[in-house]
Amino acid sequence: MKKTKFSWAKGIRFSIAAFFLVILGLILENFITQSKRQPEVSVKSEEITQQKIENREKVEYLEVEREKGNLRLRADKQYIGEDDRYHLEGNVEVVFLKRREGKDIFLFGEEVTYDREGNHFFISGKARIKHKDLVIESISLSYDKEKELFRSDEGINFSSDRASGYAQKMTYSLKQEKIVLQEKIRLEMIQDQESSLPLVAEANRFEYSRKSSSGKLEGDVRLFHGKSEAYADILSFVLSSDEEQIKTLLLKGNARAILIDEETENQRREIEAEEILLKVFPDIAEIHEVIARKDCNYKLFSSSDGFTEVHSESMKFVLNRDGGLENFHAKKNTRMVTQEESSEEQQIVTGDEMLLEGKANILQVKGKDKFRVKVKSSLSEIFAKEVDVSLDDNILEAKGGIKVVLKAQDREDSVGFFSKARPVFITAKEMRFLEEEKRFFFMGNTKIWQENDVLRAGEIMLNAETRKILCIQGVKATVPYKPKDKEEERVEISSDVMIFKPDENLVSYRENASLGVKDIKLRARSISVYLKEEKGEMKKIFAHENIIVEQGSREGRGKEASYDIDEEIIVLSGNPVLIEKDKGMTRGNKLTFYISDGRIAVENKDRERSVTVIKS
């Protein structure tokens, strides 16, 4: 049988930072830096100097605007139309010249019109805006100089060294330092020139404000990076005051990320929640915390290890500066499900919260009030107030109201004491389970039972596969038996140590052993119980060394004793002696105690065989 490890616990060890780091980096590199580089265009001349303009061909003139900069106009044709607006037609170029190099803004189009005050510009026919490496194109664009506002409702395309895309509408306010894109937005960004995996973002609305150092994507937000994807109703982010570092990024509303290993494709990770919040280290562009809230679900699929799924109301992942997991915390109604790749068997763990500290490498699962931790597999169900799993050596430790159910196994060898054919129940104060060896250790007022078979001890070791049992400290077993043609009776056996060997159908009670049945009590150094192979019921019982059998006022002593279950007799041998209170002592070769009616037969084997019967 293949030995499974605590894969449900190890499944938490994953890295979710890489995909989101791409998002963070590209937002900073494209949206933010582009906005930050935009010139403070403020073409606030009182009026463009009035000139007598008639129809002119191939015109170019320069209008000085005090210390604010210059305005340069070029066109194949220029005139004042019936609308009392200036018209520039054919290969039009309007340049807002700034004093500092690289701050110029270029407007291009087949036609540009503007009012006499030079406040409102309208560009149509292959309209284009250019600033540094950023180019915006549309059927038509407008620029309001007074409001310092660019606008288009006719659909825009844009491109830069690192990004390209389109939207149906655009508003860019220089005064408010805010850009808004709306409807059918698609952004495609590359992390570096050599990368073949661009980040593609789709949404219905995008905005960024320099004044608040924040921005967001809204409405059916979709992110794609290679085979990895992310979805949300809203993606918002907040920057540091110098706009050089992202502080937080939030996916909100049906948030979901699907992360796929691009090289091997052998792992697929999914994280879902109502909200997924990312916090970054204050001094480096590395994710420090990932916080998921409301109906959180994490899944890990592996072509070699199967899958792990974690569900809770909230999750928090704390990462170190190298991207390694430092701490994991899931709270409220936590549930973890694991299934190995080559098996249909599932392991299920439920509790109120789960914690994992990277250094300790121990997963803690805690219950709350009456809601206890539950660990369920095909082999057993474990209930406890708290469960700790060491991921280094695959050891599970539980404490607080331990209850374990060993499930019935459909196997041919399901016979013997605590048979595998029926469920076994165990309670204790503490428990340890060694996954590799399939061994349970129970400590503190331990009780194990199957139907009417009951076993108690201070500590019990049980092998879940073989059902071998070792008990120490105050061992006490209650075992039912059925004599011939009689009602069921019970035998109670106690000792300091008990060992059950299923392969030998033998239960051994050692050190200070005792047996009680009806009004008879037997004490010995050890007691051996042999079981019937077919049903696992008691067949015969033997006691060894320092035997004392008590029945009322009579006491038998000897070296060996046997108990025939069916005949209900105890035979004492090894120079036995019978002591009766106030009546003296009787010796014989064998003493037979008849449990049903209380008779004692003393047998002597000298020259003539004699039997003395003593009645109660």
Handedness of CA 535, 540, 543, 549 (dihedral sign): positive
Given 172, 194, 210, which residue is the final one in a domain? 172
Residues 291 and 410 both lie in one domain: no
pLDDT 10s digits, 140-161: 999 888 888 889 999 999 887 7
Q: Mean pLDDT throughout 190-214?
A: 78
Q: Is residue 355 part of a domain?
A: no
Query: Is the same domain home to 541 and 602?
Result: yes
Tell me the average pLDDT across 58-63: 57
pLDDT, tens digit (0-9, with 9 covering 90-100), for 392-432: 788 899 999 899 998 887 655 544 567 777 888 999 999 99
How far apart (Å, rounded) are the C-alpha atoms in residues 307 and 242?
A: 43
* 428 lies in the same domain as 577: no
Q: Hey, which of 11-15, 176-180, 340-344, 542-546 has the most confident mean pLDDT?
A: 542-546
Mean pLDDT value across the chain:
81
Please indicate, yes or no, whether residues 143 and 202 belong to a single structural domain of this protein. no
Total of domains in the chain: 4
Position 456 in a domain: no
Flag whether 72 is in a domain.
Answer: yes
Q: Phi and psi of 273, rounded to 5°?
A: -170, 165
| Residue finishing a domain among 134, 152, 172 | 172
pTM over cut 0.85: no
Q: Residue 304: pLDDT above 60?
A: yes
Which domain, by its residues, includes 10?
1-36+177-324+331-344
Rounded (10°) CA dihedral 238, 243, 247, 249: 40
| CATH of residue 131 | 2.60.450.10
In degrees, to the nearest 5, what angle opens at C-alpha 179 toward C-alphas 173 and 185? 140
* pLDDT at residue 602 in the model: 87
458 CB neighbour count, 10 Å cutoff: 16
Same domain, 132 and 181: no
State the first-to-last Cα distance of the chain, in angstroms, to the nearest integer. Answer: 57
Q: What are phi and psi of 25, to 5 degrees?
A: -65, -40
Q: How many helices (H) and strands (E) does the chain have?
A: 3, 40
User: Both 21 and 50 in a single domain?
Assistant: no
Question: Is the CA virtual torsion 367, 372, 377, 380 positive or negative?
Answer: positive
Mark whether 68 and 5 lie in a shared domain.
no
- Res. 458 pLDDT band, cuts 50 70 90: very high
Q: Which residue has the higher pLDDT, 233 or 605?
A: 233
pLDDT digits (tens, 9 = 90+) for 533-569: 766 678 889 999 999 999 888 899 999 999 988 888 9
Q: What is the mean pLDDT of residues 20-31?
A: 53
Whether 533 is in a domain gets the answer yes
Give the per-residue pLDDT at 523.
95
Mapping DSSP to helix (H, G, I), strand (E, B) and coil, where does residue 345 land? Answer: coil
Choose between 592 and 244: higher pLDDT: 592
Q: Name the least confident of 278-287, 495-504, 574-583.
A: 278-287
Same domain? 250 vs 288: yes
- Judged against a pLDDT cut of 70, whether residue 600 lies above it is answered with yes
Give me the pLDDT at residue 314, please. 94
Beta partners for 70? 64, 97
Q: Which tens digit of pLDDT belongs to each residue from 68-116?
A: 446 788 889 988 999 999 899 998 988 877 654 556 778 899 999 988 8
Q: Are 481 and 475 in contact (CB under 8 A)?
A: no
Residue 307 has pLDDT above 60, yes or no: yes
Regarding beta strands 554-564 and 538-551, do their DSSP bridges make them parallel or antiparallel, or are they unpaired? antiparallel
| Upper half-sphere CA count for residue 531 (Cβ side, 13 Å) | 21
